[in-house]
Amino acid sequence: MNSRFILIYFLVSISIAARSQDTWDLKRCVEYAMANNPAVAQTAIQAKISALNKRQQEMARIPTLSAGTSMAFNSGNNQDPTTFVRVTQNYLSAGMQLQSSAEIFNFYRQRLSITAASWELMASQASIDKVRNDIALSTANAFLQVLLSEEQVRIAVVQIGQTTKQLEQIRKRVAAGALPELNATQLEAQLAQDSSNLIGAQGSSAQSVLLLKQWMNLDPAIPFEAEKPDPSLIPLESISDLQPEYVLQEALKNQPQQQVNQFRLKAAEYATKSANAARMPTISAFASLGTSYLAFEKRALYERILTGYQPTGFIVDANGVQYDVQAPIFANGPVAGYLRSGAFFNQLETNFRKAVGLSVNIPILNGGSTRMAYERAKLNIQSVKVQQQQDEQKLKQDIYQAYQAALVAMQRFHASEKSVEVNEKAYAFATRRLEIGALSTYDWITTQNNLLRARLERSLNQVDYVFKMKVLEFYKGKGLKL
């Protein structure tokens, strides 16, 4: 039987020795989690996207400028771009153009869009702090669970040690015939139960460490040892200074989620104004430069000889007399000369053209796109307001729950202090009775075990109480500090 529990102690010691000598305190865990948790990196990327959107809105005020060129081979019957008559000839054409446009007045739509994008950027940046706060709080809670689970392991180990000592004492008295075998059997059953409790506590401790590593985005295979602070040295505010309504008012002023909602509400309001301005006319200026080039084989120019007339089907009324309109008929005569395409740069100079002007765009019927965009923007304001109310309600609920948890933890800690005080007195009385032979060793060990359990529970309750108070201070805006 003893060899079995020696093996348990050996495994526990091996587990403890396998841990890294490098310990992690709460501050280090929180800072590591905020720096490495993927949620922070993802939110930071969204903030960069918001910055790009704002930059794009700002650049939309810059006039547009575009250049283009084209070249085409033409064949068959088409219009001569120089004489504008129908010809059947192959030719090569090219063109170049430079165009620019700028909005002069659009009822401040662009300025409102830039302002909306600026508020959205501020909301995205505040979201990073919100995610960091959430991760810090979750990491701190996971760190607390690690400490509590490790305390449970220590309690289970001590309990096994106490039960083992009791079993040894009882075995001696059973062997001497002072006690029946039943007493030893009962302690063996208790020892088996204590061993099962230790295994369960070790499993819970391992799971708590894995959960903390998950929040920290730390490799599960890396050894980890949490540094337990001395709770008695951690400064705490009075519970009277952490009343839930007061903490709530402070939280509404400093919690990042509230800032996110305020910034997004501002962004939604300016986006709505911009959507409304898009329904108004827009005045723009434009300018363009262009030229062209035409290349074709030399083309014969003939003298035109009148050969007769033909009716056109039109009639002219002159002083009551109607006359048929006749069209002249020409035939090609001798070749008078040849038409050739000009030099490239000469054509570019000759065909150079420019234009400048103003345009007014009045949205009348566009499938309801501008009106629907305006209506969606107004609904978005309502959605942000509802979300703001939900977040404030959740914050209030979280603070009240944290206050009640801290209050219960404080009462439990004070009760455990009283329990230690009572058990210390009982232990002192039991020790004096043992010295005069008025108390059995079994009863004295039981009293000693009760005192040890009470001290361990007080330590456990004290850690829980300190962390619950720190959560309230966190909501108040004091951060997570030990």
Question: 455 with 312, same domain?
Answer: no
Phi, psi of 183 (to 5 degrees): -60, -45
The model's confidence at residue 332, banded by pLDDT at 50, 70 and 90, is confident
Q: What is the C-alpha to C-alpha distance for residues 402 and 399, in angstroms, rounded to an integer?
A: 5
Compare 279 and 177 and report the one with higher pLDDT. Answer: 279
Question: 203 with 139, same domain?
Answer: yes
Domain interval for residue 413 = 229-280+371-482
Compare 394 and 1 and report the one with higher pLDDT. Answer: 394
Task: Report the pLDDT value the prediction gives residue 126, as an integer from 0 to 100.
Answer: 93
Is 347 a member of any domain?
no
Task: Report the pLDDT value the prediction gives residue 9, as an integer from 0 to 100.
Answer: 41
The answer to whether 150 touches 201, Cβ cutoff 8 Å, is: no
How confident is the model over 350-361, as pLDDT tens digits?
889 999 999 999
Task: Report the pLDDT value the prediction gives residue 20, as an integer from 0 to 100.
Answer: 42
Task: Report the pLDDT value the prediction gives residue 78, as an integer from 0 to 100.
Answer: 75
- Give the rounded percent of residues in the chain with a pLDDT score beyond 90: 43
Determine how β-strand 299-318 pairs with β-strand 64-74: unpaired
CA separation (Å) from 108 to 32, 275, 276, 369? 46, 11, 10, 19
Question: 120 with 9, same domain?
Answer: yes
Look up the CATH number of the domain holding residue 119: 1.20.1600.10
Q: Tell me which H or E stretch contains 361.
A: strand 353-361
The answer to whether 233 touches 463, Cβ cutoff 8 Å, is: no
Residue with tokens 């204590």: 194
Question: 258 with 198, same domain?
Answer: no
Task: Report the pLDDT value the prediction gives residue 19, as an integer from 0 to 100.
Answer: 43
pLDDT over 60 (residue 14): no
Question: 234 with 219, same domain?
Answer: no
Question: 218 with 191, same domain?
Answer: yes
How confident is the model over 388-418, as pLDDT tens digits?
999 999 999 999 999 999 999 999 999 999 9
Is 344 a member of any domain?
no
Measured in residues, the chain has a length of: 482
How confident is the model over 57-69, as pLDDT tens digits?
999 899 999 999 9
236 Cβ neighbours under 8 A, 6+ residues apart: 466, 469, 470, 473
How confident is the model over 209-251, as pLDDT tens digits?
999 999 999 999 999 999 887 777 778 888 888 899 999 998 8
Question: 190 with 167, same domain?
Answer: yes
The answer to whether 63 touches 101, Cβ cutoff 8 Å, is: yes
Question: 132 with 148, same domain?
Answer: yes
Q: Please, which residues bridge with residue 206 across strands?
A: none
Query: Whole-number mean pLDDT of the chain?
Result: 85
pLDDT over 60 (residue 12): no
Is 175 a member of any domain?
yes
What value does the mean pLDDT take over residues 243-261?
90
Q: Please, which residues bridge with residue 353 across strands?
A: 290
Q: How far apart are the first and last CA of the chain?
A: 44
Q: How big is the CA angle at 193 (ends 188 and 194), to the nearest 5 degrees?
A: 95
What value does the mean pLDDT take over residues 441-460?
80
Question: 24 with 107, same domain?
Answer: yes
Question: 126 with 69, same domain?
Answer: yes
Question: 212 with 264, same domain?
Answer: no
Task: Report the pLDDT value the prediction gives residue 467, as an integer from 0 to 100.
Answer: 86
Is 265 a member of any domain?
yes
Task: Report the pLDDT value the prediction gives residue 480, as an integer from 0 to 100.
Answer: 66
Is 91 a member of any domain?
no
Sheet with 282-296: list strands edge to edge: 64-74, 91-105, 282-296, 353-361
Question: 465 with 392, same domain?
Answer: yes
Q: Show which of 207, 228, 249 is a domain's final residue.
A: 228
Q: How many domains does the chain have?
A: 3
Which of 150-154, 309-313, 338-342, 355-359 is the least confident region? 338-342
Is 88 a member of any domain?
no
Is 355 a member of any domain?
no
Task: Report the pLDDT value the prediction gives residue 481, as an integer from 0 to 100.
Answer: 64
Is 60 a member of any domain?
yes
